[in-house]
């Protein structure tokens, strides 16, 4: 998949992994639509990138706003060819503890944003891509999802988060098989501990400790490294139906 001149959608693109991905796609010549709930950060990033970048306010769990973002990205000359979903939230609570059972509303909310929101972006993005003219290799588009190594190594208190990210990993292969006949690929990236706004709130000592747990390189991941992999996925047509761990060989302990 050629990045230059294509339409790209980055959901959850106003900060963290999504912002880094939007920047690199734009740098590589894509027309980028940043979809996010935060208009201040989203508009600021679009203004920073300038020409070939725009912001669309969207909640990934709602069909209408995501459809609007997809339509905006599809206005590019070659149509929407690259969709990356980085939107997600976290929650920490044990299944049952001294304060009672896990909050069901919180569990439902995490599943709703992380899993259902990701599928919403995937289904609508893919539906637009299948209308594209195929390139020389028969490809019409690629959808990149964001899971987490918590999908495989969930820690104490991560039951909701791990379930949501495990669902994303689980849908990757069947979605890729669904779309194979139309020339649309589906790939998921499962990052480890990355230097995102969520971890930025932690004290530096805690951040250093998290980084030291990574075998090599022993540090937090840089969002630019996630972006680089997302772009490589777009460009490498043989990557399909796979969940790729991006974690420096980290395997999370129980706590």
In whole angstroms, what is the distance from residue 162 CA to residue 201 CA?
Answer: 21
Spell out a b/e string for 6-15, using b for 16 or more CB atoms within 10 Å of the CB, else e: bbbbbbbbbb
Summary mean pLDDT of the chain: 96
Over the stretch 190-207, which tens digit does the pLDDT of each residue have? 999 999 887 777 788 888
Q: Is 185 a catalytic residue?
A: no
Q: Which of 161, 166, 211, 220 is catalytic?
A: 161
CA Rg, the chain, in Å?
18
Helix or strand or coil: residue 238?
A: coil
Report pLDDT for 130.
Answer: 98
Report pLDDT for 187.
Answer: 98
Report pLDDT for 223.
Answer: 97
Task: Determine what percent of the chain is predicted with pLDDT higher than 90.
Answer: 90
Residue 167 phi/psi, 5-degree rounding, is -65, -40
**pTM given for the model:** 0.96
Report pLDDT for 88.
Answer: 95
Over the stretch 163-172, which tens digit does the pLDDT of each residue have? 999 999 999 9
In whole angstroms, what is the distance from residue 107 CA to residue 105 CA?
Answer: 5
Nearest partner of 82 among 253, 231, 254, judged by Cα: 231
Sign, CA dihedral 106-90-61-240, equals: negative
Over the stretch 10-44, which tens digit does the pLDDT of each residue have? 999 999 999 999 999 999 999 999 999 999 999 99
Report pLDDT for 203.
Answer: 82
Tokens of 71: 């339509």
Query: What is the mean predicted confidence (pLDDT) over 141-158?
Result: 96
Which residue segments constitute the domains of the chain, with CATH numbers given? 7-246 (3.40.50.720)
Residue 43 phi/psi, 5-degree rounding, is -65, -35
In whole angstroms, what is the distance from residue 164 CA to residue 60 CA?
Answer: 14
In whole angstroms, what is the distance from residue 2 CA to residue 47 CA?
Answer: 24
């Amino acid at each position: 998949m050629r990045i230059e001149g294509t339409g790209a959608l980055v959901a959850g693109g106003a900060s963290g992994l999504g912002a880094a991905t939007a920047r690199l796609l734009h740098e590589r010549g894509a027309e980028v639509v940043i979809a996010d709930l935060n208009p201040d950060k989203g508009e600021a990033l679009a203004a920073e990138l300038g020409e070939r970048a725009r912001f669309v306010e969207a909640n990934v769990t709602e069909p209408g706003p995501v459809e609007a973002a997809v339509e905006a990205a599809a206005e590019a000359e070659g149509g929407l060819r690259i969709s990356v979903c980085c939107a997600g939230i976290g929650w920490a609570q044990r299944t049952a503890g001294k304060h009672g059972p896990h909050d069901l509303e919180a569990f439902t909310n995490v599943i709703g944003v992380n899993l259902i929101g990701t599928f919403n972006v995937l289904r609508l993005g893919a539906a637009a891509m299948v209308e594209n003219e195929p390139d020389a290799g028969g490809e019409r588009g690629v959808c990149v999802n964001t899971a987490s190594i918590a999908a495989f190594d969930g820690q104490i208190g991560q039951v909701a988060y791990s379930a949501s990210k495990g669902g994303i990993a689980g849908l990757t292969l069947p979605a890729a098989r669904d779309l194979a006949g139309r020339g649309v690929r589906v790939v998921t990236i499962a990052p480890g501990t990355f230097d995102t706004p969520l971890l930025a709130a932690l004290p530096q000592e805690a951040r250093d400790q998290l980084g030291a747990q990574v075998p090599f390189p022993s540090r937090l991941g840089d969002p630019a490294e996630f972006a680089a992999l997302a772009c490589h996925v777009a460009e490498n047509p043989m990557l399909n139906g796979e969940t790729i761990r991006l974690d420096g060989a980290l395997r999370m302990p129980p706590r």
